[in-house]
Structure 1
Amino acid sequence: MQLIISAAACLGTIGIIVQVHFPKSKSGLPLPPSPSKAWGLRGHFLPPRNPFVTVAGWIDEYGPLITVRSRFENIVIIGRYQAAVDIMENQGKSLADRPRKVAVGEIVGGGLSIAFTPFGERFRRMRRALHTHLQPNAAKTYQPLQMSHAKTAVLDILDDPYNFQNHVTTYAATTIMKVAYGKTTPTSASDPEVIEINQIISMFRPILRPGAYLVDTIPWLKYLPWYGRDLQLMCERQMKLNMDHLNRVKEQLQSNVDIGPSFAKHMLEGSDRFDLTEAETASLAGTFFAAGSSTTSAAICTVLMAAACFPEEQATVQTELDAVIGRHRAPTFADQESLPRLHAFIAEALRWRPLTPNGVAHRTTRDVIWASNGNYCIPAGTTVYGDHWAISRDPEVYPEPYAFKPQRWVDDRGRLRDDLKFFVYGFGRRICPGQHVANRSVFINSLLILWAFRLALDPTKPLDDMGYMNGEMSKRPCTIEFKTRISEMEIKRIMQNYPEVARETLTLG
């Protein structure tokens, strides 16, 4: 009898799980088609390395939208451009939520990380606070800072080209550390704070993998004191780091030290206006730094790798630089409107090797109907991914999608097209709020480095041209040779006169 009761309880638990993770549509319309081969309760198999390649194959076979089963959950994956616009953009309000991530969001993040916060009042408060600093007009105020640190990156590459990846990481860390916390002391890839932050970022990736932790399927496990001790320790480590940074800014304010503007300072001074707790403020500033530095460095390295991999396209950009700028002065943000070929090259590089190829999980809050290619319904409560890799290989939007063709972004008049885009920073109301700052960092570093150097791959070293996707900065995906386009002495002379950031001119909105 006891065995029967236990079995019934077990089946009841499974029934609850299935009910929670298999939401039903009220419309009666079917889910998007599903790949035929699923492995019992496990569902569809996706390899741990480059799963987006498998997904892209399914999209080619089954259509723009597919349904993948992962254990007791149906996941809808969008793999074509127009479907992403129709669903993720035009119906973005219905996909502004995140699926519940117990391991990474609730245990590790303490429920405070904006990346995993459900759509609601807390998310709106945190995002509103970020937007005060990261709107396009506010982002322009960071340009002197970005130019100053990009100049340093050029000089660092000149002195030590082999470690270009470290120099790019240093650029991103130094720039974002200043913007986030007002820290003016030198920051580098070997800075203990940067190392610790990058370690924490790298620890997030395996936790995000579907099925990595049983607590994401059985949430009540998080209440067991012995469960997920490694996750709890990671939470404590991250919280301490974020609070240490915030407390340092607070101490400087209390001692009337003029540290200049920063996101953390503005948040502390306007705490009543933003209505955030101290823990929320610390988490928001920490996420701002961690996400901004890792994404920016990966994007810059992707552009440099593309230049080395495609020398003819690199030469086209440098011909434009010589015509617009010449080699007797260094370019600045003032030149950006005159450089459509460079903008096109950057856009193509980030399409060719997207930063988040799998996309980021969204959750529908109401039934979403898609009728452009068959009538399908994504029920409320469903996890949805916009798969950047598959979308970037949509042959109807990007002909010859596996070819590297920057000219696809330029119209017949030689201007940058305004009718073509790629979703580098996500979709709808969950788009990365730091995109305007990040774009400027990628642009000015690409501009200065391609103006100063001709890049080539080292043929004696291995190449992993997918290595920078998902921010894998701990590895060395490629080795690049940097050959100066003018004399080393001339580069140093020109860089000496390059605009330096004036502290009094850096103001945040």
Structure 2
Amino acid sequence: MLSDRLLDTSLLARLHTVNHAGLLNVILGLLFIAIVAIAADYAWMLYLRSKMPPGPFPWPIIGNTFSLPDNKPWIYFEELSKNFGTPVITFWIGRNPTVWINDAWAAHEIFEKKAQIYTSRPRMVVFGELGSGQSSLVTMQIRNQQERDHWRVHRKLMHLGVGVQSVRGYREIQNNESKLMAYDFLREPKEYVKHLERYATSVVSIIGFGRRVASYNDPIITEVIALMQLAADLNVPGKSFPMLLETFPFLAKFPRSWPWPWFKGLGTRGQKGGHYFFYSLAEEAIEQYNQKSPSEQASMPTPYVKTLFGEAKKYNLPAAELSSLTGNLFGAGADTSSSTLITFILACCAFPDAMHKAHAELDRVIGAHRSPHWDDAPNLPYINAFVKEVLRWRSVAIIGGQPHSPTQHDTYRGWLIPRGAWVQGNVWAIHHHTREFPDPDRFYPDRYLPKNDHHRAFPGEKGYMTFGWGRRVCTGQALAEQGTWISVARLLWGFEIRKTRDETTGKEINVDIFAFTNGLNMRPQPFPCDITPRDEEVKETMLREGRQALADLKIHDGESRYRMSTFYQQQKRKFTREPVIDEQGNVKFVNVKGV
């Protein structure tokens, strides 16, 4: 009996040892496979690195991600380019190589001359898959002819609203709204940021929806601009979540409904109605426009959303895509335009000599009895140069917007740029290259005047690359340039913009020309300034023109019943079936997967 028990115990021990050894062998086998896979993948990374533009040495899996600075990576990439002595560098975000272009001529050679193959976007986890989706014009990939045709439809529809041929029809709107902005500066000069945001948002709201924004407390400003700024802040290359998802994209597969820390700030995908806020604004705008009398309709431009919905019949576009097209108006026009004008205010405070030179030209050409108009542009060369310098000095889209991605392997100076890679233009480095812009941090409009000692050759006729390149250039460029010109010219004509003074000492309080936000669309950090009318005659003209503008804009008065902050919860059940416009212009509903 005892011997049997000893035998059983010995057998169990041997079986346990065998099982333990088997498990250990499995673990060791899996570990060996993982090491071999990582080694093979790293060998591939190093092989690509040997063919691509120079850059820092990458680590396996994580690449150079953890070398990124906490703030303003565009300055870091500019320094890397100088250190390696090349106009383009390679920086690895995880296993994905990103080619950073830090030179105007290289950007022109790659993005403009080879626009056909650089029209696509790379896979973007945060801003694309977890954000606006890959069906947005901003993030849409073009990997085959079907996707190219789809992208062309979106671009065509966007050009109907803000293309070069359309924007001249919006001059009266921009002119009146900028007159009202100057009027608001007279009333509340300390709230200049809010006035600029109201102006920019109201212009795109009238164009898009036929409804002006009368107050800077309107939720379309306080909520939508905040959303745009959040998106810009999240979409900067970084080593913390959520942008770390670009290094570890498998984490995006985890359920969004769970409180995973890497999804912080991204909202919850699948929230019913989450994509349809702007779609609902569009439906409401069309309904309000149709209720106006024929004479009222004849006195205002047709809202873009009405044109868009009419054209969409041909393409059977789903509501999510129509929503993104209308929402892009705010993304491209409100936050960026107001940020540009805040930068203009900062430049006037920091470099008063440029402002005073502009005053002299405006006094000579315009006088005090009226404000400037676009028709005056041929006679205002310094104002034209001033606007160009505003767009160059501290460009809002500081890394040129979203990355490009070649649809086939390409080469530049013998270096490989592989198909599908991220290719990003560093607008900061381009606009601060001393070869094209001597003393680049100085706000100096004279550099755009011929025969000036700072005047340099630059690819293209504009003298800046603020709005991107090629076929992915910002679709709202013409509208933004037109609005920036009239706003800058009118504010220079009407106001003295100075550093504020300390109430105790009377000394000027300096402004920091490097204190900007860290987002993809950067703007100056808050700063105080004094804004006063230049003289009484100019003040009276601004008051007269402002009152008349308010009367002229009255046709666009109206309110929306929607608020972004409450929309998602209110619409949860409404969009369990997605609205789609059919060929006859009727709205039909299809089931939404995963809702």
Say whether the 8 Å CA contact 2:176–2:552 is kept in structure 1: yes
Is 1:437 the counterpart of 2:479? The answer is yes
In structure 1, C-alpha distance between the alignment counterparts of 2:471 and 2:39, rounded to whole Å: 33
* Correspondences of 1:2-13 after superposition (within 5 Å): 2-4=26-28, 6-7=30-31, 10=34
Shift of 1:484: 1.3
What residue is the counterpart of 2:126 in the other structure? Answer: 103
Q: 1:8 to 1:122 in 2, by over 3 A?
A: farther
TM norm structure 2: 0.76
Say whether the 8 Å CA contact 1:368–1:379 is kept in structure 2: yes
Alignment RMSD, CA only?
A: 3.3
In structure 2, C-alpha distance between the alignment counterparts of 1:38 and 1:264, rounded to whole Å: 49
Shift of 1:419: 4.4
Q: What are the superposed Cα offsets for residues 53-81 of structure 1, whole Å, 9 maximum, x if unpaired?
A: 22211222222111112222221111111
Shift of 1:459: 4.6
Say whether the 8 Å CA contact 1:144–1:501 is kept in structure 2: no
Shift of 1:205: 3.1
In structure 2, C-alpha distance between the alignment counterparts of 1:16 and 1:148, rounded to whole Å: 63
- Say which of 122, 127, 136 aligns to 2:150: 122
What residue is the counterpart of 1:492 in the other structure? Answer: 543
Instruction: Read off the aligned partner of 2:211 and give its amino acid letter.
Output: K
Shift of 1:352: 1.4
Q: What are the superposed Cα offsets for residues 393-430 of structure 1, whole Å, 9 maximum, x if unpaired?
A: 22222233333321111114999997451111011111
Say whether the 8 Å CA contact 1:76–1:378 is kept in structure 2: yes
Q: 1:315 to 1:232 in 2, by over 3 A?
A: closer
Q: 1:256 to 1:83 in 2, by over 3 A?
A: same
What residue is the counterpart of 1:200 in the other structure? Answer: 227
Shift of 1:42: 4.7
What residue is the counterpart of 2:584 in the other structure? Answer: none
What residue is the counterpart of 1:483 in the other structure? Answer: 532
What residue is the counterpart of 2:112 in the other structure? Answer: 89
Is 1:133 the counterpart of 2:174? The answer is no
Is 1:58 the counterpart of 2:100? The answer is no
In structure 1, C-alpha distance between the alignment counterparts of 2:500 and 2:549, rounded to whole Å: 30
Shift of 1:193: 2.5
Shift of 1:100: 0.8
Q: What are the superposed Cα offsets for residues 10-56 of structure 1, whole Å, 9 maximum, x if unpaired?
A: 5587579769x95977xx98311114697993516221212122221
Instruction: Read off the aligned partner of 2:115 and give its amino acid letter.
Output: G
- Say which of 429, 439, 449 aligns to 1:400: 439
Say whether the 8 Å CA contact 1:215–1:222 is kept in structure 2: yes
* Correspondences of 1:51-450 after superposition (within 5 Å): 51-62=73-84, 63-119=86-142, 120=147, 121-184=149-212, 186-210=213-237, 211=239, 212-213=241-242, 215-225=245-255, 226=258, 228=263, 231-233=266-268, 236=271, 238-252=274-288, 261-360=302-401, 361-371=403-413, 375-412=414-451, 419=461, 421-450=463-492
In structure 2, C-alpha distance between the alignment counterparts of 1:501 and 1:494, rounded to whole Å: 10
Shift of 1:117: 1.2
Instruction: Read off the aligned partner of 1:96 and give its amino acid letter.
Output: T
Q: What are the superposed Cα offsets for residues 83-136 of structure 1, whole Å, 9 maximum, x if unpaired?
A: 111111111222111111122212221333221111233322111101122222
What residue is the counterpart of 1:463 in the other structure? Answer: 511
SS at match of 1:329: coil
In structure 1, C-alpha distance between the alignment counterparts of 2:125 and 2:40, rounded to whole Å: 17
Say whether the 8 Å CA contact 1:308–1:457 is kept in structure 2: yes
Is 1:32 the counterpart of 2:53? The answer is yes
In structure 1, C-alpha distance between the alignment counterparts of 2:45 and 2:57, rounded to whole Å: 18
Q: 1:71 to 1:455 in 2, by over 3 A?
A: same
Shift of 1:482: 1.1
Say whether the 8 Å CA contact 2:209–2:303 is kept in structure 1: yes
Q: 1:245 to 1:401 in 2, by over 3 A?
A: same
- Once the two structures are aligned, what percentage of the paired residues are identical? 24
In structure 2, C-alpha distance between the alignment counterparts of 1:144 and 1:499, rounded to whole Å: 12
- Say which of 481, 494, 518 aligns to 1:452: 494
Q: Which has the higher contact order (CA 8 A, sep 6+)?
A: 1
Runs of 5+ consecutive residues of structure 1 not aligned to the other structure = none
What residue is the counterpart of 2:572 in the other structure? Answer: none
In structure 1, C-alpha distance between the alignment counterparts of 2:209 and 2:41, rounded to whole Å: 43
SS at match of 1:270: helix
Instruction: Read off the aligned partner of 1:395 and give its amino acid letter.
Output: T
Instruction: Read off the aligned partner of 1:98 and give its amino acid letter.
Output: R
Runs of 5+ consecutive residues of structure 2 not aligned to the other structure = 1-24, 503-508, 557-595
